[in-house]
Amino acid sequence: MDPADHTTALIERGYTVFERAYDPEWVAAIRADIDGIHAEHGRPRCHAAGNEALADDVYLCAAGMAVRRLLHVRPRWANDIVKPEVVAALRGALGQDMTLEIAGCVVSDTSRPFFAWHTHVGGVDDGVYRRTGVWPSVSTTQRVMTLTYLQDLGEHNGPMLIYPRKVGDPIAPPHDPDARSWPGQVELRLPAGSLVAVDECTWHAIPPTTEDALRMFIGLTYAARDAPVGGWADDKLSELASQPETSELLRSVLG
């Protein structure tokens, strides 16, 4: 698929896949580095009902052990983490002047239960909408997450479940968010290094892993220039723009 096809997929079904976007050597190296961050904090079980801080930018949460500002914790990965073909495809949906809002990673293990169906509309936890039952209306592509998996994604470590959604469709959950499966869902089983780009309004879920190994992904969030600032936006990312070693591609999405 060329960038235009990926753009169309994002708009028409709410997600697109870049299979093997990162080569195995890069995946192995950054996986080892993230494993080192886990080790630095005592190798905790990677799940908590609430947020439990382990360090300024490292905490346990429902998703796992999250590193919020990965490019500050490990700046050596900054230039390699963005891919020109991905940026081109996302610009087709978000506009040429889109910006990078978040660059982090999440580590999980067998302690994390079924990660129920959820969205990231507004760049926040959708729990606020669930509690009130009032969901926003989003008629354009405003925010896209990219999830890069650092291991094969398959039956034993939770295939990614996605419910296809066209931009402009209603955002409220079409089925029970706690259900283990939804009619019409897509199950993604992918090789390590693959990247899944997901619109902020697209519902997705992850079954629990049964493998005795850490499950990792790198999560970036890009937003349209005129989108409201996301609730989890990293206000320090723009500092990378002034670093001489920052690549032109990364600088172009730093606002």
User: What's the confidence (pLDDT) of residue 30?
Assistant: 96
- Ramachandran assignment for 43, one of left (phi > 0), alpha (psi -120 to 50 degrees), beta (any other): left
User: What's the confidence (pLDDT) of residue 214?
Assistant: 95
pLDDT digit string, tens, across residues 177-205? 999 999 999 999 999 999 999 999 999 99
User: What's the confidence (pLDDT) of residue 197?
Assistant: 98
Structure-token pair, residue 70: 């990965």
Q: Coil, strand, or helix at residue 222?
A: strand
Q: Which pTM value belongs to this model? A: 0.95
CA 6 to chain centre: 17
DSSP string for residues in 127-148: HHHHHH-------S--EEEEEE
The ranges assigned to domains in the chain are 3-252
Closest CA to 77 of 100, 49, 56, 104: 104
User: What's the confidence (pLDDT) of residue 133?
Assistant: 85
- Please answer whether residues 246 and 75 qualify as being in contact, where contact means their C-beta atoms are separated by less than 8 angstroms: no
User: What's the confidence (pLDDT) of residue 119?
Assistant: 94
Closest CA to 94 of 86, 105, 103: 86
CATH fold of 3-252: Jelly Rolls (2.60.120)
Q: What is the pLDDT along the chain (255 residues), one digit of tens a residue?
A: 899 999 999 999 999 999 999 999 999 999 999 999 999 999 999 999 889 999 999 999 999 999 999 999 999 999 999 999 999 999 999 999 999 999 999 999 999 999 999 999 987 778 788 888 888 889 999 999 999 999 999 888 889 999 999 999 999 999 999 999 999 999 999 999 999 999 999 999 999 999 889 999 999 999 999 998 877 889 889 899 999 999 999 999 997
User: What's the confidence (pLDDT) of residue 164?
Assistant: 98
